[in-house]
Chains A and B, each alone.
Chain A
Amino acid sequence: MRLLRAKANDLFPERAPRPRRDGPASASQPLAGEDKVLAKTPSSLIAGWRAGPVAAPRHPDLLQNIDRLRARFPEFGRHLSMLTQLGSQVVYAGACKVPDFEACGVAVVRFSNAIETAFGITREVMFFYSPHRELQVRTFRAAKDVFGTLNREMTPDLIFVSSPDPRLRERLDDWTRGSTYLAIPFGADVDSPIGFIGLLRDYIFSRDLFYETTPVAGDSFFGRKVLLQGLGNDVLNQRVAGLFGLRKAGKTSVLKQLSLDLRRSDAFSVLVDLESLPSPPEDPIPDLLTSLRSKLISEFKSQSIRTKELSECSPTPSLAEFKHAFQSLLARLPRDNPSMIVVMLDEIEYLTPYERIDVAEGDMPQIAQFLGVMRGLVQETSNFTFIVSGLTSQIVESGRLYGRPNPLFSWAKTHHVAPFTSDEATDLALSIGSRMGIEIDRGATDALFEATGGHAYLYRSLASEVVESLPVDVFRRQMLRVDVIRSLEDWRLSIAGNLEEMIDHVKRYYPTEGVLLEFLLEEPSQFVTIANSEPKALRHLMDLGLVQRDGHAFAANPVLELL
Chain B
Amino acid sequence: MEDNSGTELVASLRKNATRFGVVFVHCGAAHRPLFEDLMGAGDHKMNVRDILDGEDIPAGIIVIDGMESLASSDRQDMPRLRQIVHDAADSGSAIILISRYPKIRYEQVPGSTLLLDARKFTLPLGVFLPSVDDSSGVWPACQGGAASAREVSQAIFTELGLEIAATLDCTIFESFLDRAEMISLLREKEIEALEGGGLIQRVDRQYQWAIPNRFGEIRDALADTLAGAIDPQRELAALFSELWSLERMIRNSIRRALLEAHGGKWARKGLHGNLPDLVLTRAKEDVYPGAKSLGEIRDPLEWLTLGELLEVRKSSGVGELGVESVVWDKFHREVGPVRNRVSHMRLIRPGDLDQVRKWRANLMRKLDPQSH
Interface residues of A (CB under 8 A from B): 14-15, 23, 25-28, 174-179, 208, 211, 213-214, 247-248, 273-279, 282, 347, 350, 354-355, 358, 360, 489-490, 493-494, 496-501, 504, 507-508, 511-512, 514-515, 518-519, 523, 526, 529-530, 533, 563
Contact = CB atoms under 8 A, between A and B. Distances in A.
Given A174-B59, A276-B83, A530-B324, A214 B359 contact: no
Contacts of B354: 504, 507-508
Contacts of B324: 529-530, 533
A248 B189 CA distance: 18
A213 B188 contact: no
A178 B21 contact: yes
A355 B357 contact: yes
Given A511-B357, A523-B326, A493 B110 contact: no
Contact of A493 (B22, B205, B326, B362): B205
Given A15-B204, A275-B79, A174 B11 contact: no
B14 interface: yes
A279 B109 contact: yes
B86 A214 contact: yes
Given A511-B359, A515-B330, 5 more contacts: A175-B92, A214-B86, A248-B117, A282-B76, A500-B188
Interface string B317-360: 00000001011001000000000000000000001001001110
A497 to B, nearest CB: 5
26 contacts: A25-B19, A26-B15, A26-B18, A27-B11, A27-B15, A177-B18, A213-B20, A214-B90, A247-B113, A276-B111, A278-B75, A278-B76, A278-B79, A278-B110, A279-B110, A282-B76, A360-B371, A489-B205, A498-B117, A500-B188, A511-B358, A511-B359, A512-B362, A515-B358, A519-B326, A523-B326
B10 interface: yes
B136 interface: no
Nearest to B104: A497
Given A493-B205, A497-B189, A529 B86 contact: no
Interface of B: 10-11, 14-15, 18-22, 59-61, 75-76, 79-80, 82-83, 86, 89-90, 92-94, 103, 109-111, 113, 116-117, 120, 187-189, 191-192, 202, 204-205, 324, 326-327, 330, 351, 354, 357-359, 361-362, 365, 371-372
B205 A177 contact: no
Nearest to A399: B372
Contacts of B18: 25-26, 177-178
A65 B80 CA distance: 53
Given A177-B18, A208-B19, A213-B22, A512 B365 contact: yes
Nearest to A247: B113
Given A507-B354, A511-B362, A27 B14 contact: yes
A154 B188 CA distance: 46
B10 A27 contact: yes
Contacts of B371: 360
Nearest to A562: B188
Given A174-B60, A278-B75, A490-B205, A26 B116 contact: no
B11 A514 contact: no
Nearest to B355: A507
The CB with the most chain B CB atoms within 10 A, among A247, A490, A493, is that of A493
A519 B59 contact: no
A66 to B, nearest CB: 34
Contacts of A354: 357, 361
A493 to B, nearest CB: 7
Contacts of B358: 507-508, 511, 514-515
Nearest to B193: A497
B205 A15 contact: yes
Given A276-B111, A282-B76, A354-B357, A214 B89 contact: yes
A177 B15 CA distance: 11
A276 B76 CA distance: 9
B188 A497 contact: yes
3 cross-chain pairs, A with B, having the tightest CB-CB distances, nearest first? A213-B21, A511-B361, A496-B188
A177 B20 CA distance: 11
Contacts of A360: 371
Instruction: Specify which of A214, A347, A511 lies most central, judged by the most chain B CB atoms within 10 Å of its CB.
Output: A511
Contacts of B93: 177-178
Contacts of A177: 18, 60-61, 92-94
Contacts of B205: 15, 489-490, 493
A48 B278 CA distance: 90
B326 A529 contact: yes
Nearest to A533: B324
Contacts of B372: 358
B11 A28 contact: yes
Nearest to B350: A504
Contact of B89 (A26, A178, A347): A178
Nearest to B90: A214
A28 B354 CA distance: 46
Nearest to A276: B83
Contacts of A277: 79, 110
Contacts of A279: 75, 79, 109-110
Contacts of A176: 92
Contacts of B113: 247, 275
B82 to A, nearest CB: 7
Given A214-B89, A350-B110, A497-B188, A518 B330 contact: yes
Contacts of A508: 354, 357-358
A279 B327 CA distance: 33
Nearest to A508: B354
B119 to A, nearest CB: 8
Contacts of B61: 177
